[in-house]
Structure 1
Amino acid sequence: MANSSDVSPSVGEPTREYPPVPEEQAPAAPEQPSRPSGFARLLIFVGFVFALIVAACLGLRAINVLPSFDNPFSDRTTDRSQPVLLQSMRDLSRYVAADGTFQVIVDLQEDKENIPDFLVNRRTLFVGSGTVEQYVDFSKLADEALVVDNEKKTVTITLPPPQQGGAALDMQKSYVVAEERGLLNRIGDAFKSDPGKQQKVYALAQQRITEAAQASGLSDRAKQNTEQMLRSLFTRLGYTTVTVTFDSP
């Protein structure tokens, strides 16, 4: 006899087992929009308040209620100089008869022998502008230097030769054009400063200007101006002949 489990159920027999029904997948929940953190909200609030303050300040400045504040970090210069101290005072009896203004370019280099320039070297290119005066010192006049003849209305004056003063640099017109320094010089300057280095350049510029003034004919100009001044002075006093001579230097 055939096994009942192998026999297909007839059409009229009831179905003992139902096929499994596939489960429907539940719809995914919509993603919630992410909210900014508390710190981010604080930053946004602070920025908004700062923008309102800036806008309010600009508005008050526009109606001239607040002062101008273009740059809160602008440069400021404070003068803490001490009062000027008078060290000495003297009477001068000199007549400045002429002066000359000179300009010199100083190219001063200081290095070490057998050492490359990129290690030890200091070269300064300086433009110096200075003035040199020629003057006659009337305090050195001897008693017989002035001979006056009131009857003939003549005057004879013997003066000392003009003297030349030292060159005075005009720092407003003098300036450093370029400066080259070796590696070791740069390192040394970073730890200490030596104001005497600039003084060497200034002293050399003054020396060059003084030498140039001596060869410029400034002394002859001083003699001419002194003679003209004295002749004009004594002529106004009624003297007709005024002779001015200079001693040999």
Structure 2
Amino acid sequence: MTNPVKGPTGRVPGWVKVVGSVVLLLAVLFAGLRLSVLPGLKDLFGTETRDRSGPALLESIQDISRYEAASGNFQVVVDLEKDAKFLPDAVRGSRTLYVGAGTVDAYVDLGALDGDDVRVDDDRTSATLRLPHARLGTPALDPERSYAVSKQRGLLDRLGDLFSDNPHSEQAVQKLAVRHIGDAAKESGLTGRAESNTTEMLENLLRSLGFKEVRVTYGD
């Protein structure tokens, strides 16, 4: 009687080996899934995280001659959608909802002052200072307070992520969040607040040194 699995020569057909390999692969994947969803089993095969980073190297040092006079906290909700022509969103396209939180500093540069910008009378009781207008620093995104709310991707995008070096990249929405935060800072009156704080700081400082009249102006 001939074995239904083995051929006439007693060898296992090639298609049987292929089917067996697929079944084995599915069994391994299913076992991994079960370990991830059943409580307690994941701890048995838990992973350990090690930081093997090298020491940080000092590349340069810069002297700072500006007075950080004010800082604003901002938050923006970024809704970034990418569509492909002639293809439905389920096949090709993505949409990311991202909450970006960051800060923008406003400062007054005191390093460019010269003798014409600082005038003191002979008896050293009156001082007049002319400072440049306050400026905004570069927006800094806070990773602790920024997060993705949802991600929707088409089938081709999900397949592409499998072969990507950084499948969870949020660089595009992060750049967009920084740009929106910077635009909001320009309309917030943060530079005016920085100039007021700088004026108050200089008036208190010079009066503590014996000056009775202190006048601070701003101009380019």
Q: Which TM class, normalised by the smaller chain length?
A: 0.7 to 0.9
The alignment of Structure 1 onto Structure 2 pairs a total of residues equal to 178
Where does residue 172 of structure 1 map in the other structure?
144
Where does residue 214 of structure 1 map in the other structure?
186
> How high is the sequence identity, in percent, across the aligned residues?
45
The secondary structure found in structure 2 opposite 1:147 is strand
CA distance in 2, matches of 1:127, 1:150: 57
Q: How large is the Cα RMSD of the aligned pairs?
A: 1.6
User: How far off is 1:143 after superposition?
Assistant: 2.2
Whether 1:84 and 2:56 are equivalent positions in the alignment is: yes
Structure 1, unmatched stretches of 5+, are 1-70
The 8 Å contact of residues 161 and 167 in structure 2, kept in 1 or not, is answered as no
- Residues 18-167 of structure 1 aligned to structure 2 (within 5 Å): 72-151=44-123, 153-167=125-139
The secondary structure found in structure 2 opposite 1:140 is coil
CA distance in 2, matches of 1:247, 1:129: 32
> CA 1:238 to 1:195, structure 2 compared with 1: closer, same or farther past 3 Å?
farther
Partner deviation per Cα, 1:209-230 (whole Å, 9 max, x = no partner): 0000010011110011000000
Whether 1:246 and 2:218 are equivalent positions in the alignment is: yes
Greater length-normalized contact order (CA 8 Å, ≥ 6 residues apart): 2
CA distance in 1, matches of 2:51, 2:65: 37
Q: Normalising by structure 2, what TM-score?
A: 0.77
The secondary structure found in structure 2 opposite 1:213 is helix
User: How far off is 1:151 after superposition?
Assistant: 1.6
Structure 2, unmatched stretches of 5+, are 1-42
> One-letter code of the match for 1:84?
A
The secondary structure found in structure 1 opposite 2:57 is coil
> CA 1:77 to 1:114, structure 2 compared with 1: closer, same or farther past 3 Å?
same
User: How far off is 1:194 after superposition?
Assistant: 4.4
CA distance in 2, matches of 1:178, 1:147: 58
Structure 1's consecutive aligned runs of 4 or more residues displaced over 4 angstroms after TM superposition are 194-197
Larger CA Rg, structure 1 vs 2 = 1
